[in-house]
């Protein structure tokens, strides 16, 4: 900055925004981390940011104690902090959106009961006791095999009907074709999922099949 040139008017509000923005980001990190150790670590960083902010304030508005720092340096620091805050905010927003909407594999938590030797008109139950995250759909892919292929081939003419059951309320039946993904809507706030699966076969009522789940994903 040329000698005699007045300090830019935006420097003070820019500094205030930079300090407040940085503190807000670290506070947000502190309250969204899991575990006491992470919270303490984040709180320590916040304390460091507050100390740095106090030093920056003194450097800008108590120049006698910081005569070795030029106005160009102070302006560069403020701009650098603002740019860093902007980059971190964009990254944080993108990561938060991804984390809130990413698909979650819950195959390991699926419990299928009475899935073997099911006759047409019979059924099985599927339970997911704890939802790993809040999502709007459970996407399932069912696979069926002939229980005893030596006495009849049932797979080509077999279909499935799925109904959700939550707190005594049964959802509308959803027709599902084996081998194809089926989206099961989930009610908001649902903590566990229970499905009633009915086997249909219009050609042969005595066909027996075995039912398996090959894919289970929570998604929006």
- Cβ atoms of residues 70 and 7 within 8 Å: no
| Statement: residue 2 has pLDDT above 60 | no
The DSSP 8-state label assigned to residue 6 in this structure reads P
pTM for the whole thing? Answer: 0.68
pLDDT value at residue 127: 94
Distance separating alpha carbons of residues 86 and 77, to the nearest angstrom: 14
Query: Does residue 125 have a pLDDT over 60?
Result: yes
- A 10 A CB-CB count for 193 gives 24
Question: Is pLDDT of 13 > 70?
Answer: yes
Average pLDDT, whole number, for the chain? 80
The predicted-structure confidence for 141-156, as pLDDT tens digits, reads as follows: 999 999 988 777 889 9
Evaluate whether 160 touches 128 at the Cβ level (below 8 Å).
Answer: no
Residue the block writes with tokens 């620091």: 77
pLDDT band at 218 (very low <50, low <70, confident <90, very high): very high
With left for phi above 0 and alpha for psi between -120 and 50, is residue 201 left, alpha or beta?
A: beta
């Amino acid at each position: 900055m040329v000698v005699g040139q007045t300090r830019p008017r935006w420097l003070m509000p820019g500094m205030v925004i930079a300090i407040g923005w940085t503190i807000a980001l670290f506070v947000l990190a502190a309250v969204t981390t899991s575990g006491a150790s992470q919270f303490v670590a984040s709180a320590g960083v916040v304390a460091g940011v507050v100390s740095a902010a106090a030093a920056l304030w003194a450097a800008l508005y108590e120049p006698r104690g910081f005569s070795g720092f030029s106005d160009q340096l102070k302006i560069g620091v403020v701009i650098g902090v603002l740019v860093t805050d902007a980059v971190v905010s964009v990254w944080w927003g993108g990561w938060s959106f991804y984390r809130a909407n990413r698909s979650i594999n819950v195959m390991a938590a699926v419990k299928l009961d009475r899935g073997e030797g099911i006759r047409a008109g019979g059924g099985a139950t599927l339970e997911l006791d704890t939802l790993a995250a809040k999502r709007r759909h459970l996407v399932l892919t069912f696979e069926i095999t002939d229980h005893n292929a030596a006495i009849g081939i049932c797979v080509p003419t077999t279909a499935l009907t799925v109904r959700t059951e939550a707190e005594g309320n049964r959802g509308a039946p959803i027709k599902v074709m084996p081998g194809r993904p089926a989206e099961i809507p989930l009610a908001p706030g649902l903590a566990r999922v229970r499905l009633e699966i009915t086997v249909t076969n219009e050609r042969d009522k005595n066909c027996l099949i075995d039912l398996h789940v090959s894919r289970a994903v929570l998604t929006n």
